[in-house]
A and B are shown apart, each in its own frame.
Chain A
Amino acid sequence: MSDIKIKSKNLNVYYGDKQALFDVNLDLNEKEVTALIGPSGCGKSTFIRCINRMNDVIDICKVEGNIEIDGVEINDKELDVVSLRERVGMVFQKPNPFPKSIYDNISYGPKIHGKGETKSELDEIVENSLKKAALWEEVKDRLNEPGTGLSGGQQQRLCIARAISVNPEVILMDEPCSALDPIATAKIEELIDELKKTYTIVIVTHSMAQAVRVSQKTGFFHLGKLIEVGKTEKIFKNPDNKMTQDYITGRFG
């Protein structure tokens, strides 16, 4: 269970003149949940946005170093980001369903990638994705209603279903519960537990408790540097680094 899926080597990221990540070397295991913690602005989100090359959108952002998925370099200008993002899905901090029907939200990805040629194939993908995202029972009778009409927690699960719909290998989650109430959060965490059987998951979180609950491995970032990484239990019970100790006990951050 500890095959390395994603490997970053000497990753440096700059926003204009400002360096956001310094020589990050981090291995993420397949079919495991890795939590990234650290104070705001420490580079956790920047790091996961490198994995699906989302930083390309930002003009002033420059990425140096290597990231490999299954041993293949992805930080390569020649690489087709569309097929990369098909393999690496992402869920954002704020639920961002398209202002379209629930059905269209899920079927959009498969459609543009040519998965689900017929209506019945698409129906199946939509149903499976919603089931995997534990949303099917709540929305099966109103698939044609707008996705933006759902509650915050449901919207976030809809976004997870949307990410699942193209059948990715990796799902990146950027503080997926920060805009949700505790009940909705619990549902998402349960879901993450279930999803890790199929997908490699990287989750950025500000909640220590959440990291402990959902992850097997935890990385602690501070000021753009990866301070410490290890099994979640070890990081939270017996960290090697004084800074990690201080952060998880709430002395700064």
Chain B
Amino acid sequence: MTKEQRLKKRHSSEKRFRFYGLASIFVALLFVLILVNNIFSKGSSAFMKTAIDVEVFFDPELLELKNGANEEEILEADFYDVTIETLLKVYPANTLEEENALIDLFTTDAEIEIKKAFLEDNTLIGKKINLEISASDDIDQLHKGNYPRDLPEDRRRISNIQLKIYDNLIENKKIIKNFNNYFFTNGDSRDPELAGIGGALVGSFYSIIICLLLAFPVAVLASIYLEEFAPKNKITDFIEININNLAAVPSIVYGLLALQILLATIQLPRSTPLVAGITLALMTLPRIIIPCRASLKAVPPSIREGALAVGASKFQSVFHHVVPLALPGTLSGTIIGLAQALGETAPLILIGMVAFVVDIPSTPIDPSSSLPVQVYLWSESAERGFVEKTSATIMMLLSFLIVMNFVAVYLRQKFEKRWN
């Protein structure tokens, strides 16, 4: 081969490599784009809910309440008649069939929504106010354009009468869209229009806090001891290999471990953030120890020698010099470990977090769900309304993960000290 040929070959192989690199980045970006687009197009509508504008008359004859009633009396009072009166006023229904169809346009919680309005202002007896009552899941999905109207009636969940009433309400501008606060404040529900991630959010929050409180101190102290104080011998080698192995153990195995030890043997309450937190902490420990040791290792030995040479003890040289320098790496490793724990589903399914929990947990020992498990639960549901809720929950989960990763990167860049 002549010199020119070799040169040409070298240049073309470089060009080829650049092309391969660009192509793979492009493919990766394409997949991310498809994923994000899919989730957003399905999930973004869940943040809005359809409501119907109604006029409520707090008829003194239908209510056994007086103005100024206290909270207990209101909660016990029966608002059913007022609710039915109110809903029937929206459209002039002639037959019983039409009346039932009309009432089915509203959420099953219409009575509670009216009661809530009275709880906020207990002087409404004898007065009329305008309220926005949530629509039922079917109307919600129809209004959002997720429900096909052109199917034959016997294959639709919405009857022709309901469609007629809906169109009439649209004409009269009675149907509105507002912010879906239920999605953030409610627990799970069988009715998609009422289901929310409130319980899952709180459950995930408790689990992660418990995971952090358990895993962070243990992992950091273990790494400091192993890296700085432990003698280098066969036992520490063995421990090191096993920590690396543990980080690669499938998370479901930790679920089995927790099921056997925490639930069966110690008898901790099932489906609780407490057990979830402990399980996630076990799983996260090696995932924090590894980056933590790496950042301790990255502190140059000359810093340790410098401290020892002015008469610092081993303990002082480690805690005054090495640990502060390793801290940014340690913290970002911890956050990334926690982010992984936040998205973990398999072990939580095994410890019973798939239970259907309506109440929002008030303590870490109340039964609860968690964000990824909620995604799993809703993705199994048949109702249209749960499709958008599944995607919206994924959006929430992803945004938490992105925020946590940004914090990790920020901490590392802001506090990492450079040495020459």
Interface residues of A (CB under 8 A from B): 52, 54, 57, 59, 82-83, 85-86, 89-90, 92, 94, 96-99, 108-109, 112-113, 148, 159, 162-163, 165-166
Contacts and interface: CB of A to CB of B under 8 A. Distances in A.
29 contacts: A57-B308, A59-B231, A59-B232, A82-B312, A82-B313, A85-B308, A86-B311, A89-B309, A90-B305, A90-B309, A92-B302, A94-B302, A96-B300, A96-B302, A96-B306, A97-B306, A98-B306, A98-B307, A98-B321, A99-B303, A99-B325, A108-B310, A108-B320, A109-B312, A112-B310, A112-B316, A112-B320, A159-B306, A166-B310
Interface stretch (B111-119, B250-258, B275-283, B412-420): B412-420
A97 B302 CA distance: 9
Contacts of B311: 82-83, 85-86, 109, 112-113, 166
Contacts of B313: 82
Interface in B153-187: none
Interface string B295-330: 000001011111111111100100011000100000
A226 B258 CA distance: 64
A5 B212 CA distance: 55
Contact of B306 (A92, A165, A166): A92
Contacts, number: 68
B306 A148 contact: no
Contacts of A94: 302
A94 B305 CA distance: 11
Contacts of A92: 302, 305-306, 309
A24 to B, nearest CB: 21
A86 B316 CA distance: 14
Nearest to B314: A57
Nearest to B321: A98
Contacts of A86: 310-311
A97 B417 CA distance: 13
Nearest to A155: B420
Contact of A148 (B231, B309, B310, B419): B419
A137 to B, nearest CB: 23
Contacts of B304: 57
B310 A165 contact: yes
Given A98-B321, A112-B312, A54 B307 contact: no
Contacts of B303: 96, 98-99
B310 A89 contact: yes
A99 B419 contact: yes
A84 B20 CA distance: 61
Interface string B124-168: 000000000000000000000000000000000000000000000
Question: Lowest 9 A-B CB distances belong to which pairs?
Answer: A96-B302, A109-B310, A90-B309, A86-B311, A85-B311, A99-B417, A96-B306, A99-B419, A82-B311
A215 B418 CA distance: 36
Contacts of B325: 99
Count chain A CB atoms within 10 A of each CB in B308, B310, B419, B420 and give the residue with the most. B310
A163 B304 CA distance: 14
A210 B309 CA distance: 24
Contacts of A83: 311
Nearest to A53: B308
Contacts of A85: 308-311
Contacts of B310: 85-86, 89, 108-109, 112, 162-163, 165-166
Contacts of A148: 417-420
B177 to A, nearest CB: 56
Contact of A57 (B300, B305, B316): B305
A94 B306 CA distance: 10
Given A98-B321, A109-B311, A112-B311, A162 B306 contact: yes
A89 B309 CA distance: 6
Interface string B400-420: 000000000000000001111
Contacts of B309: 52, 54, 85, 89-90, 92, 163
